[in-house]
Structure 1
């Protein structure tokens, strides 16, 4: 029986997105399976073929399939529950099932526009708790004062410990004008409820402006908030405009950027690099693929990259590529540490399956999962308002300006 499924790679606290279509075939056992059993078997086969850990969390994966299919599945919902139970045995929060509504929501999210509260969320790799990676610029969540690393304890009274990442995201999305209440926990403070009014969230990933430096030089400041499909083009336009305005050096701000599309990260690295490896990918056979820069870069001007604990996944790929190719120095805090790659498969009934299929390594073959990337200059930062970012009140930004100037790497200083 032949089949076709869409396969989407998306790297980020959520997923790594690159569209492709794969063909495959399988042979069913002699006895007929119900539609519910076929869906479970479809999921089992995808995991069996693609999952990064070929020990399947040190268990007999074939026996797991047999055990699941032995039990009657009365309806679609029971099949979904069985699939979730099967995937839970892998002990991997990034390998997960999405029902059709969650799958459609994810597709809307990757389109760059959605209706919701404007939070990028993820599971802390150490604690497994749901937390804010970053609020989206100008969103209801940002206006309400929700910050990176805040923990989301409850959504409309539902404890998030009982929700998957996608279920949590689905509960926060909704029609424009509707409200949702989040219970927020912040280190050193009491938990509090925040009521948000959902709105249309337009994700503009690039903020750019020419800033005064020291010694009469000008700095092109570019803040990249996520790696969506438009990010490479928008960033290229920003660099070109800043070059025309006379930028002598650049600060690329990747703080609280949770990642996004792998291809966007690779293309953005190519905007800055004339040559060199950007990232390696390693699957369970140990096979390495790589993405290379082939130039020419849009600018050879000096570059400093700002990073912090919310810099994750595709952001870490970009930061690692620029650092290890000697193109940029990093300033700020150690990054998040998300080095796994997921593939999203569309299933036969319109639901979806996210599977961890590979890991990535930096150009110098560093595996940064749960480790992060250490900056060249470590500088802490207090809680900043949106207006304080890239100003005299932003110590990480000021350290980057100082590095560009005092290290005599500004254009014209030799």
Structure 2
């Protein structure tokens, strides 16, 4: 009885409320039909509207075939590219898988590290020992021209890795045309047949030279810190009187790996500080569990970047380690890889923070200037020899003088 009385008393009010809600829903639906998104914000609403119109135009007027998924990935990639940050990018599903494989230290490919600065050509900066490319005769310094006859001189690295670092192409033979500069300074084109395979990244190599330990670090992945610590321990057992650490052409990688390696060498204290736009500063420190008490010298060049600069700069600031070579690249910002697998697929790499060395210095767009500047001099004859590597020899000289 009370409910009926309530309905009778407020009948007109309830009808008005219901009518108002129905009207609002109807208006919202109509706005969506016309590509207007009142509650999504300008960016999201604008994207929905523009992509819908462009998609309609392509469907109605484009004369030719197209891949819908590539259009979607292209739109996402274009949005991130519009940030104007060369370190941020969008990964398609296959690219994101490749990135995870790379970080984990294992992937399907040919076993090389390639580099492309700005719009330059793709260059081989390291070749994994015993990898497919090494077995086929590919060398550091080779410039990639073609893959199976397709020109790659004006394409991006990811266009190349989409093909050769692909699980579907495991055990496939590719003909890679490279440009190689000979000892006489003349360039020649060479066709190299390479069979792809599962490549386990060996990012750290070592040997004894004149009683000192030489360690070459090609990149910083999830396996690098463990490999590095084992090499340091092994060299100490061999009686190494110091360490010569080579970071030339090392473009960086996982910051945490570099931090763990610094923790093996340095006593307790401050390492780097990351500052983000959200104000969540993170300070990394080393502990007292392990440290290296013998002299260290680090070799660097213009391709030593990011985690390499963190590693070299922290050793310089904290332990007075001498840097030998040429000015480093100057990448003082950190990228985070964000998975989109549970939402729209793929992933993002976004610049999320800037790092500062132990002395408070930022090296972004400045680089590290070595204590001893030494330009690499072209080998006079024959294959590469450490005896003719002027930078390495200068590093040994500085190390022996300590």
TM-score normalised by the chain length of structure 2: 0.75
Match of 1:137 among 129, 132, 145: 129
Aligned partners of 2:77 and 2:91 also within 8 Å: no
Consecutive unaligned residues of structure 1, counting only runs of 5 or more, are 1-28, 49-59, 213-217, 410-414
Deviations 1:175-215 (A, max 9, x none): 22411424548697547354340343321122222332xxx
**Correspondence for 1:236:** 229
Quick one: distance in 1 between partners of 2:93 and 2:149? 24
1:65 aligns with 2:47: yes
Query: Counterpart of 1:227?
Result: 220
Question: What CA deviation, in whole Å up to 9, does each residue of 1:357-376 have, x standing for no partner?
Answer: 22222222333233321111
Deviation at 1:154, TM superposition (A): 4.5
Please give the alpha-carbon distance, in whole angstroms, between the structure 2 residues aligned to 1:185 and 1:101.
Answer: 31
DSSP-derived class of the 2:400 partner: helix
> How far apart in 2 are the matches of 1:386 and 1:297?
42
Alignment of 1:86-101 (within 5 A): 86-101=79-94
Q: Look up the SS of the partner of 2:399 in the other structure.
A: helix
Report if aligned partners of 1:240, 1:298 keep a CA contact under 8 Å in 2.
no
Equivalent position of 1:277 in the other structure: 270
Mapped pair 1:147 → 2:140: yes
Runs of 4+ in 1 over 6 A off after TM superposition: 185-188
Question: 2:201 matched to which residue of 1?
Answer: 203
- How much is the aligned-residue C-alpha RMSD, in angstroms? 3.5
Q: Write 1 or 2 for the structure with the bigger share of helix.
A: 2
Change in 2 beyond 3 A, CA 1:291/1:196: farther
Find the counterpart in structure 2 of residue 11 from structure 1. none
1:393 to 373, 388, 398: 388
| Aligned twin of 2:294 | 301
- Secondary structure of the 2:319 match is coil
- Cα pair 1:121 1:133 within 8 Å, conserved: yes
Residue of 288, 306, 318 corresponding to 1:313: 306
Aligned twin of 1:344:
337
Aligned position for 1:172: 164
Q: Write the distance in 1 (CA, Å) between the matches of 2:143 and 2:250.
A: 17
> In structure 2, what is the equivalent of residue 181 of structure 1?
176
Determine if contact 2:128/2:202 at 8 Å carries over to the other structure.
no
Structure 2: runs of 5 or more not aligned: 1-26, 60-67
Per the TM alignment, residue 159 of structure 1 is displaced from its structure 2 partner at its CA by 4.9
Which of 247, 264, 268 is equivalent to 2:257?
A: 264
Distance 2:324 2:400 in 1: 14
**Corresponding residue for residue 289 of structure 1:** 282
The C-alpha deviation readout for 1:209-244, integer Å capped at 9, x for no partner, is 2332xxxxx312222222122222222222222222
Aligned length: 350
Equivalence for 2:351: 356
- Please report how far the alpha carbon of residue 327 of structure 1 lies from its aligned counterpart in structure 2 after TM superposition: 4.1
Provide the residue aligned with 1:192 in structure 2. 189
1:31–1:96 CA distance, 2 compared to 1 (3 A): farther
In 1, the alpha carbon distance for the partners of 2:46 and 2:120 equals 24
Q: 1:330 aligns with which of 323, 331, 340?
A: 323
Q: Secondary structure at the match of 1:260?
A: coil
**Deviation for aligned residue 1:113:** 2.2
Residue 346 and residue 178 in structure 1: after superposition, are their counterparts in 2 closer, same or farther (change >3 A)? same
Q: Which has the larger radius of gyration?
A: 2
Q: 1:320: Cα distance to partner? A: 0.8
> Deviation of residue 249 (structure 1)?
1.4
TM-score by length of 1: 0.73
